[in-house]
Structure 1
């Protein structure tokens, strides 16, 4: 039998495998397998990935249920006011089942977004690619993908981005709700305002909904506590996972005794203490503002040059998000979940164009899981190997931002002024 005969004989088998893996059933089975694995890791894995959920979120929810204190209403809070909704909802079956209920809520939200991604019509090749990529991304990122408040906002942002072209008002509602759970979806909302021809509808919906949320908070007695998260975030120190913290971690590796990792009991995080650390933490906000303005200018330039919505929106949202990550004084591992929404939309619209950011995002996810939750203690001890892992992760984020800036600069060129075909 010749090599050609072997190839011909195996061709039907390969074709059947492709058909099976390309079907909805296979994707939903994979969704269940990946999420079941993440749930098991959260409940039984080492490193206590559900620490914030059961030791912080649950306490806040119980305090409110018992009439003791309502976070964001009675006292200032580190999160926007709607973050309390999923935390309180996880008490539905009692404190003993809080962790399981939290995980169920997140999995259901992911399932809703996954259903929107697959769509109701004939499953396209690009949506299959995007769906498989998202599942791989979640698996590589590990348990943190479900174990923080960010996990509630990711499916909202993903659904909003998928509907942005055809249902901009619905997208604005989802992104605004997400923004009042955790601030980062505001970056996607800003990208939508810049890229969409219906930007004033988006702005109107976002402003009206935000006013309603604030109004209800004020009626509940929040006062300025409803926006207290702004000041709470501004007062934080330089967390050890923050990109800017890398320089100080290497100083610890080099034996500088003036620099150390300390635990902030008020914010409940490990932070850098040492010469220049407070200054570095204070400059992150203006640095972030400068980065956002620079990306905004590139986005407006692309619009003026006639960039198509599908060509502009995904890289613009991605660039905004990466700026928020790189110029952040916190740098928590769950921030990596933010990358999923723009990359998924980019793959839906043009997989070949978004191959590089998709590959970079998966590598960043894997490096994140290497550090957290399993071996986080090694980073706290400034072990050289794990400081190197964090350094590579930050470098990949910088490369991802460079890709986004290049994509924005090229958007709107004469040869690109053709609307990207999309079934989003």
Structure 2
């Protein structure tokens, strides 16, 4: 029995003691000292409602009370939201341009869609290729993107084509974002694509090259884990617009090479046979390029731009769907450009043979080539093809931007400078076409200076890319070593980690066999339930 208070002082002391007791009982769990998760897991009730909610990060228990005091690190969603937001804004501007809500100086770049593509569409619907149209110079699978606006029958042809081009653009971004989140990779490649495509202006959506680029990007990113899928996509891309066949240049030797090439040959042969049997004139594109001249935007065209100021009697005409130089010595310059292309691919073949002779792609080789080599080789091959060609159309820049983006998905990629040069060349191309295209056609001083700048950036990007590819392969690929022997940077029989690849985790330490016992620990302030942790004897 409790003794009743005798006076007012005792009554006040009893009231204060009762308040302290009640305050201690009402104190939330967060007032006690929190234990690390590993120790708290040892005392959490198995299957308990509060314990399971705390482990899931719910609002009950200690985690819920401390939520307002803890700063949560940014998750992967926040890192992905920024490129997606910038992509949405820039692509909205591109759509406004192609729908002619916002205009740019110079010729209308959407004329190819509303006139040429739609004319091909009407002919292809009859079951034949447009053989009577000299502007049709594409492989048989190019009929698919031309016919693709039929998938959106509620829109007119040009509007449907622009929407599908935007979807292909979004596909490239999704592939690069997915690749950038993998271990040993980065989101720099996605940012290159987000920034690079709009630098070309409305031409990016007014040609079907963005669809081809999506196929090429998917093929390269699938090469490491799914070589057969990559080979099939490369072959399909080559039947869309030839150049994706160059992606095969960097496939590492061994089983992946055989699987990739077999899949490419099987897919290409099946599509060609189907097109030849179903639609007449599938191979007319093979001879369509024979009589072409030198396009006014190509590297060799700079000779005629300067020669016009010294009395060269040539003309600038719309020929085979592009603006070209026609006149004396044009054939000579075109043949020199073709010889330069052959020499460039001769260098690429030499690199390939040299790399294979030094066991490129063989993980047993001393300092085997890094993961970035297939990407870098594809980038270099397409740069060589584009720069030395007698035709450099503005949409070709999309190919280079896409491949540069794939290269920069890997951490430690050495193609940063070539990628920057390609982005600068893409921005210059927008000024050259369509903004100041009249100056280029007139061969005046601003037009020549702008064209020389753009082509000079392409030449610089090509030289730097090829040099880094050659030096990287020479430095990392050596003669094969015997199994079980040690190598620099790696233990016996284990190759060193590749550039851009996260090294394998170390083996876990053997757990201690010493018995453990629970040790009682009170909270820091001496209140609250006892805490336990396992300490070794």
Under a length normalisation based on structure 1, what TM-score does the superposition of the two structures give?
A: 0.86
Q: Which has the higher contact order (CA 8 A, sep 6+)?
A: 1
After superposition, the Cα gap between the structure-2 partners of 1:204 and 1:169, relative to the gap in structure 1 and judged at 3 Å, is: same
SS in 2 for 1:349: coil
Q: Which residue of 2 is the match for residue 333 of structure 1? A: 394
After superposition, the Cα gap between the structure-2 partners of 1:422 and 1:150, relative to the gap in structure 1 and judged at 3 Å, is: farther
Answer yes or no: is the 8 Å Cα contact 2:234–2:244 preserved in 1.
yes
1:206 aligns with one of 253, 260, 264: 264
Q: Which residue of 2 is the match for residue 292 of structure 1? A: 345
2:374 aligns with one of 306, 313, 336: 313
Q: Is 1:246 the equivalent of 2:323? A: no
Structure showing greater radius of gyration is: 2
Q: Is 1:258 the equivalent of 2:313? A: yes
In the TM superposition, residue 391 of structure 1 has moved relative to its aligned partner by 0.9
In the TM superposition, residue 200 of structure 1 has moved relative to its aligned partner by 1.0
The CA distance in 1 between the partners of 2:458 and 2:180, in whole Å, is 35
Report matched runs for 1:2-401 at 5 Å: 23-44=79-100, 45-46=103-104, 47-65=107-125, 67=126, 69-71=128-130, 77-93=136-152, 97-119=156-178, 122=181, 126-192=185-251, 197-222=255-280, 225-252=281-308, 254-264=309-319, 267-305=320-358, 306=360, 307-350=368-411, 353-401=414-462
The CA distance in 2 between the partners of 1:282 and 1:415, in whole Å, is 37
Answer yes or no: is the 8 Å Cα contact 2:294–2:325 preserved in 1.
yes
The CA distance in 1 between the partners of 2:108 and 2:132, in whole Å, is 29
In the TM superposition, residue 72 of structure 1 has moved relative to its aligned partner by 6.3
After superposition, the Cα gap between the structure-2 partners of 1:312 and 1:16, relative to the gap in structure 1 and judged at 3 Å, is: same
The CA distance in 2 between the partners of 1:395 and 1:380, in whole Å, is 19
SS in 2 for 1:106: helix
In the TM superposition, residue 213 of structure 1 has moved relative to its aligned partner by 0.8
The CA distance in 2 between the partners of 1:17 and 1:58, in whole Å, is 52
Under a length normalisation based on structure 2, what TM-score does the superposition of the two structures give?
A: 0.69
After superposition, the Cα gap between the structure-2 partners of 1:262 and 1:415, relative to the gap in structure 1 and judged at 3 Å, is: closer
Q: Which stretch of the first structure deviates more once superposed, 270-279 or 414-423?
A: 414-423
In the TM superposition, residue 354 of structure 1 has moved relative to its aligned partner by 2.1
Answer yes or no: is the 8 Å Cα contact 1:74–1:221 preserved in 2.
no
Answer yes or no: is the 8 Å Cα contact 2:162–2:206 preserved in 1.
yes
The CA distance in 1 between the partners of 2:299 and 2:220, in whole Å, is 27
Q: Which residue of 1 is the match for residue 42 of structure 2? A: none
Q: Which residue of 2 is the match for residue 8 of structure 1? A: none
Q: How many residues align?
A: 402
RMSD: 2.9
In the TM superposition, residue 415 of structure 1 has moved relative to its aligned partner by 5.1
In the TM superposition, residue 82 of structure 1 has moved relative to its aligned partner by 0.7
Q: Which stretch of the first structure deviates more once superposed, 236-245 or 24-33?
A: 24-33
Deviation readout 1:167-217 (Å, 9 max, x if unpaired): 11111122211111101111113333x567511111111111111111111
In the TM superposition, residue 93 of structure 1 has moved relative to its aligned partner by 4.0
Answer yes or no: is the 8 Å Cα contact 1:251–1:259 preserved in 2.
no
SS in 2 for 1:261: strand
Q: Which runs of 5+ in 1 are unaligned?
A: 1-14
SS in 1 for 2:138: coil
Q: Which residue of 1 is the match for residue 471 of structure 2? A: 410
SS in 2 for 1:332: coil
In the TM superposition, residue 276 of structure 1 has moved relative to its aligned partner by 0.9
Q: Which stretch of the first structure deviates more once superposed, 181-190 or 26-35?
A: 26-35
Deviation readout 1:318-350 (Å, 9 max, x if unpaired): 221111112211111111111123211221113
The CA distance in 2 between the partners of 1:121 and 1:327, in whole Å, is 32
Answer yes or no: is the 8 Å Cα contact 2:295–2:301 preserved in 1.
yes
In the TM superposition, residue 43 of structure 1 has moved relative to its aligned partner by 2.2
After superposition, the Cα gap between the structure-2 partners of 1:28 and 1:114, relative to the gap in structure 1 and judged at 3 Å, is: same
Deviation readout 1:352-380 (Å, 9 max, x if unpaired): 52220111011110110011122212211
In the TM superposition, residue 71 of structure 1 has moved relative to its aligned partner by 3.0
After superposition, the Cα gap between the structure-2 partners of 1:59 and 1:405, relative to the gap in structure 1 and judged at 3 Å, is: same
Q: Which stretch of the first structure deviates more once superposed, 157-166 or 95-104?
A: 95-104
